[in-house]
Structure 1
Amino acid sequence: MSERNYRAAIIGTGAIAHAHARALQDAAGRVSLVAVADVDAGRAGEFAAGYGRARAYGSAEELLRAEELDFVHLCTPPRLHAPLAVTCLEAGVTALVEKPPTLSLAEFDTLIEAERRTGAYVATVLQHRFGPGAVRLRRLQEAGELGRTLLATCATQWYRDEAYYAVPWRGTWESEGGGPTMGHGIHQFDLLLSVLGPWSEITAVAGRQARSVETEDVSMALVTFENGALAAVVNSVVSPRQTSELRFDCERGTVEVEHLYGYTDDDWTVTPAPGHEDVQALWVKDRSEESSGHASWLAAVLDALDQGQAPPVTTADARRTMEFIAALYASAFTGERVRSGQITADSPFAQRMDGTGARWRNA
């Protein structure tokens, strides 16, 4: 393990930035938070004072000019993710970008180009991949211990009221890029994709059921994967009993997790298929007390940087998830089944997630 202590900064000091700052504190000895920036200079100063001796700046550009950094956490509203990530890359600084990384698939491809051009890295913060349960599930699956995955269900059913959408950048295609498909369910179906691998086709619907927003507040999709698995995906912000659920029905057992914003091993259950009771023993033999929060993700980032590798979730990984989102919207708004690779650069759904337009746009 490298003895290097990395120098990190946070740009954007809203609510999610605190999770990043706490993760940096948990990794003390491996990384130091040396600076923060926010367009609200007073808030930046208060945030910096709450997390040690970090210096505060009133803009990202000022911070990047003044500081020697290894990486930056981008915790701004979504419309700023891509331009700020490119600014970081051009300064030779790795960018760790909160979800969603960009507002469109085309915009994400600009990050890939900037990464190639500058040699710096960009990675998306999708921390649920790194909780112990997800790591164990992928390991058992890769070892063939669970047999083939036959069926999966993925549900992010949350509740966000009108007050939540009173924040100007929420609920619009121009500033948030989409509704719960883009900004809420992404954590769960990204984990689904990390387990099941490449998807092949998707059929979806989306609706604006209750919230006075431009985007959808509910979407549902049926997905076929290259390995033959079938999955159902639900994303909602109109569900009073909130839950985040994933279930994998495999040949040798069912593995499922139910939580809200982060899971531990206590949130997972395993039901062996008849004759495969050993699956339960395989699951529990290396139990962990860790959660699926930002600390586990940051540890994986630091491990990758120690080895001179791109930090997770890499642009290749995140692009598959972004293509999935674009295809879901394309299917929902055109009524057609969409196949992997079908959203090419000239597609309206590559340029904007609402593509040819939501059916309620002129209502």
Structure 2
Amino acid sequence: MIQAAVIGTGNISGSHIEGLLTFPERCRIAALVDIYPEKAEAARKKYHLEGAQVFDSHEKLLESGLKIDLVHICTPPSSHAEIAVHCMDAGCNVLVEKPMAPSLKECDAMLEAEKRNGVTMGVVAQNRFRNSIYKLKKTADSGLAGKIRCAHVNSLWWRGHCYYDLWWRGTWEKEGGGPTLNHAVHHIDMINWIQGGLPTEVTSVLANVMHDNSEVEDLSFAALRYADGSVAEVTSSVVHHGEEQGIVLQCEKAKLAAPWSCVAEVTQANGFPVPGHNQELMQKLKDTYAALPDLLYEGHTGEIENVLTALETHTRPFITGDDGRKTVELITAIYKAGFQKRTVTLPIAPEDEYYTMEGLLKNAVHFYEKSASVENFAPEEISVGNYDQK
């Protein structure tokens, strides 16, 4: 029986708690931790976790002597590295919410702690465990559509002005960035996974067009170029009504997209497309997609099940710290390009000023200054993605 602790009992912690509770025969929630212990107590009551102990710091949890095998880190991004390293140094395995950390230096410290202590670290990228994304990847990998030549990545969310009133949001120091880091992290992980690696060049534009209570961007556009000559564009936003998220892959022979659609063209002698498309190829692609079995568990529950299996079988989780680091590296390049208003190259070396949080803070553009904040919001519904809309 895996003994789990959840550190940080804000909005996203519910997805972790519900995921763990899906497998009562495999794991048990032994502790809840929050700097506001009343929030942890509320979660304990809500989910009927009578046996769980409540702590107001991760240090007190680690000092308590309570046996913990797996720690879920659901705190603001600026604290991820410190908590993860402390927990791994105490012999705990960890599952870290997105983004892994705001800087590459912190990511590398986390990876070193994992290696040093012989423990396992997973990083949340739960949307690889969505049927629409998983099946898109598998269909692209079939080769039927040919190589990916151009990708359009739409990480389109909407957040009201008051979203950035929360004390840690909307600051470079505590949140680490805007939707590029904290929302598009999902889609940037997806494009890294689908493409099989990072681009070599990045150009970007950063803006804040709707949230004057936030230092950070609320909108960015990034253009990516890969070593094989293919390109991609990524839009990261919290200003898009409708939250119409998705990925479109323009391949040599067809377009594939999530939410699922496919179109294939074939040329006439004059270069214009044949009316009615390439129906034969489109049917093959649809059949390939339809034949893929659904995942047994989706979202956070799917990733948590995978991490539990990794711990039980002494294997690596599907989404590792290396994956989380790659996502942070591409996001860092987007910020660097946007701050400097030029095209930048990857990889980002340790000597690069942008490798550290201090370097990012030194160079970050403050669109506005955050002058007031609130300590907590009342518990309400949150949106965690709109991946299967029709």
Taking structure 2 as the reference length, the TM-score comes to 0.84
Measure how far apart 1:144 and its partner are: 2.3
Q: Is the 8 A contact 2:161 2:210 kept in 1?
A: no
Question: Greater CA deviation, 154-163 or 353-362?
Answer: 353-362
CA RMSD of aligned residues (A): 2.0
Aligned match of 2:351: 346
The DSSP-based 3-state class of the residue aligned with 1:215 is coil
TM-aligned CA distance change 1:226 to 1:354, over 3 Å: farther
User: Are 2:35 and 1:39 aligned?
Assistant: yes
Q: CA deviation at 1:176?
A: 0.5
Q: Secondary structure at the match of 2:171?
A: coil
Aligned residue runs from structure 1 range 132-143, under 5 A: 132-143=131-142
**Greater radius of gyration (CA):** 2
Q: Does 1:57 align with 2:36?
A: no
Partner of 1:293: 299
Task: Please tell me whether the aligned partners of residues 204 and 219 of structure 1 are also in contact (alpha carbons under 8 angstroms).
Answer: yes
1:203 corresponds to:
203
Counterpart of 2:363 in structure 1 is 356
> Is the contact between residue 157 and residue 238 of structure 1 (CA under 8 Å) also seen in structure 2?
yes
What's the CA shift string for 1:219-242, capped at 9, x where partnerless?
A: 101111234331110011122232
Amino acid in structure 2 at the alignment position of 1:235 = S
Q: Note if contact 2:129-2:295 (Cα within 8 Å) is conserved in structure 1.
A: no
- Alignment check: 8 A CA contact 2:172 2:364 kept: no
**Contact 2:100/2:325, CA 8 A, preserved across alignment:** no
Deviations, residues 133-174 of structure 1 (Å, cap 9, x unaligned) = 333333333342332112110111212222111101001010
Question: 2:123 — aligned with what?
Answer: 124
Q: Does the 8 Å CA contact 2:8/2:33 hold for their aligned counterparts?
A: yes
Distance 2:102 2:120 in 1: 19
Q: State the partner residue of 1:333.
A: 339
Count of aligned positions: 348
Tell me the distance in 1 between the aligned counterparts of 2:242 and 2:130: 24
* C-alpha distance after superposition, 1:283-341 (max 9, x if no partner): 10135276742011112212222331232421211111111011111111112211221
Aligned partners of 2:156 and 2:313: how far apart in 1? 38
Q: Give the letter aligned to residue 55 of structure 1.
A: Q
1:244 aligns with 2:242: no
Q: Secondary structure at the match of 1:300?
A: helix
Equivalent AA in structure 1 for residue 16 of structure 2: H
Higher strand share: 1
Corresponding letter in the other structure for 1:194 = W
Alignment pair present for 1:222 and 2:229: no
Once the two structures are overlaid, the 10-residue window that deviates more, 280-289 or 320-329, is 280-289
Are 1:9 and 2:14 an aligned pair? no
Q: Within the alignment, does 1:310 sit opposite 2:302 as a pair?
A: no
Residue 102 of structure 1 aligns to a residue whose secondary structure is: coil
Output the CA distance in 2 between the equivalents of 1:64 and 1:312.
Answer: 27
Cα distance, 1:8 vs structure 2: 1.0
Q: Per-residue deviation at 1:182?
A: 0.7
What letter is aligned with 1:84? I
Aligned mates of 1:58, 1:358 — CA distance in 2: 34
- Assess if the C-alpha contact under 8 Å between 2:99 and 2:324 holds in 1: no
Is the Cα–Cα contact under 8 Å of residues 136 and 257 in structure 2 kept in the other structure? no
Counterpart of 2:260 in structure 1 is 268
Percent identity, aligned pairs only? Answer: 32
Counterpart of 1:76 in structure 2 is: 75
